[in-house]
A and B are shown apart, each in its own frame.
Chain A
Amino acid sequence: EIVLTQSPATLSLSPGERATLSCRASQSVSSYLAWYQQKPGQAPRLLIYDASNRATGIPARFSGSGSGTDFTLTISSLEPEDFAVYYCQQRSNWLFTFGPGTKVDIK
């Protein structure tokens, strides 16, 4: 089973700053990686799929990159509503796994 690790565990930033979140896979997942945002008490929301494609309705300040084992989610300029937990997710051989999450909180 492929294991995803995310870093950092917590990212403390101010509104307007750039956020860079990392997700690393224990073996190559090609570009089969997605990113989700989750706010307290809410279901996750799909942000990015296939490593770099924004989901419907996702603002352009969210971008994804990477392939193989190393992936990055970038939020170019944090808005107040972006403070949340972010998860990466991969699919391999019809098994899905999620990373442990990165919490982006207000500095």
Chain B
Amino acid sequence: QVTLRESGPALVKPTQTLTLTCTFSGFSLSTSGMCVSWIRQPPGKALEWLALIDWDDDKYYSTSLKTRLTISKDTSKNQVVLTMTNMDPVDTATYYCARSQKTGATDAFDIWGQGTMVTVSS
């Protein structure tokens, strides 16, 4: 059974750096084709893709946020870490990690974590 679980602070202050960890089981990020993404959703709003890391350690970022994001993986721990710098109240959202597989097509997100709510406030 494939599962993903997000962890990190529930509250961060403006200008601080957010660090989120996705811990997963049931698959390996060293398996060809496997990918993990971070996706967020502000309260009452739509989903926004942030970043993806693949089995070959290739990394892709949202165009609008790439200067603030860093994604990395620890294959031995089955973890993917996202850091987002210079947090602002508009970054308040539920942050999800999700798995996908590189097929050369949609590469849809087939398994999601339950999400972690992050509030940015002083």
* Residues on A facing B (Cβ under 8 Å): 1, 31-34, 36, 42-46, 49-51, 55-56, 87, 89-91, 94-101
Q: CB-defined interface of B80-122 with A at 8 Å, one 1/0 digit per residue?
A: 0000000000000000101000000111111011110000000
* Residues on B facing A (Cβ under 8 Å): 37, 46-49, 52, 60, 62-63, 96, 98, 105-110, 112-115
Q: What 18 new A-B contacts, CB under 8 Å, besides A33-B106, A91-B105, A99-B46?
A: A34-B106, A34-B108, A34-B109, A42-B114, A44-B47, A49-B108, A50-B105, A89-B106, A91-B106, A91-B107, A94-B60, A95-B49, A95-B60, A95-B62, A97-B49, A98-B47, A98-B48, A98-B49
**Do A43 and B114 touch (CB < 8 A)?**
yes
Set A46, A49, A55, A96: member contacting B49, Cβ < 8 A: A96
Q: CA A101 – CA B42 in complex, angstroms? A: 13
